[in-house]
Structure 1
Amino acid sequence: MPRRGPTPSAPPRRGYRRLQLVAGRRPGSASRNASPASRPPANPPPGELCPATSDNKVLEAPTSTLVLMTVAADGPPKLITPTLKTGILPGTTQGAAFAGAERAGWELGYGPLTPEDVRSADHAWLLSSVRLASPISRVDQAAKDVSEHYTSQLMDFLAQDLAETYPAEP
């Protein structure tokens, strides 16, 4: 039986607090259409703790990159991820998702993000090369809307761009 609750982690360093992000399962259609190697695990981890600095800036989760989306009524969606100026490393999977989103006409951004930005975003994902695009279904104890439509689009971007970034061996 899958474990429920937060993923165990070491206590945060002094000056850091943790924002609990719980990733939901990817939509069924994305899972069925993915190659066997990229299908989601049967029992994905129940959550990740994403550190925030003492000045309230969200960094990245230990094994994935945080990506937020805002959807304007009269424009393209906008993806935003924490700025690299905080000292985090660029994410390969996040870069592939941004490349596909840029081709699709979506707006992109990097910025200092706060826990409130995560809570107020229309949608949010944890991106990693293992789990690909895992929609966030809870932030701390609050439910978050999961969009199967946008998750499927991100999965399509990753299917194309990760394949180009890491071509198959001849």
Structure 2
Amino acid sequence: GYQEKYYFRPGDTGFKVWDTRFGRIGVGICWDQWYPETARAMMLQGAEILMYPTAIGTEPHDDSLDTAAPWRRAMQGHAVSNVVPVVGANRIGHEQVTEAGQTFYGHSFIADHRGDLVESLEREEGVLVHTFDLDFLDRHRAAWGFFRDRRTDLYAALANGRPA
């Protein structure tokens, strides 16, 4: 991994959701994208679209690892389990900050509420645009019952548990 926590201080404002002319947008930055709790926290604040701007690419400890596919799939999973469109915007190109440098792999995408890619780029620059019917998505989300059927009485371990 990138070991960001050793170089940057995390924010303490929680995950935010903003009203825009395009709907209520939740934004999780960079490392936040890997955690399902991030997506759920923003959804519980009424997010209608989740966005994850990031800068990810070759792994600093092993540049032969390509994490592009798992990166996309993690956020596609957020789309499915929250019945919400997800936008993943990733940096592209190479930066020479160490001898090996860092290559950012792009692969930006827009996934629909089923996790299906509706717009995507590969290892290229570009702009992605897609239109969603937010009323339809709200009805679809309610029909799935993921928020209605949550078992919050069993989730304490998420906040203070450690892996065995």
Q: Do they superpose with TM above 0.5? A: no
Give the TM-score, by structure 2 length: 0.29
Give the TM-score, by structure 1 length: 0.29
